[in-house]
Amino acid sequence: MSDSEKDLVIATLTKRLSALEAEVRSLKAASPGVPEDVLVAISAAVSAYLGNDGSVQAVRFAPSPNWVRQGRRALQNHSIR
């Protein structure tokens, strides 16, 4: 492949990339964002449907003390399951 052919391929790919970036920008502007909790619920449903057991990769603290309290209650539950 000669240098002029490489330059042509690079120019073509650059134009295609610019067009795709513009399309992504317009799609992002046209659609409202999906709330995080909805995205997590959909991801969990798809994962369960596909049979993926999954594992915890990261944990962050919830801003509400009620969620913290409920989480502790669930962890400290000594009943037989």
What is the per-residue pLDDT for 60? 63
39-79 confidence digits (pLDDT tens): 788 888 888 888 877 676 766 655 666 767 777 777 777 76
Range of the domain at 20: 1-51
Structure tokens that stand for 27 in this block: 């799609």
21-40 confidence digits (pLDDT tens): 999 888 888 877 777 788 78
Provide the 8-state DSSP code for 63. S
What is the per-residue pLDDT for 42? 83
**Residue 34 phi, psi dihedral angles, 5° rounding:** -85, 125
69 inside domain: no
Outline where 1-81 has alpha helix (H): 3-30, 36-49, 65-75
79 inside domain: no
31 inside domain: yes
38 inside domain: yes
Instruction: Supply the pTM of this predicted model.
Output: 0.39
State the total domains in the chain.
1
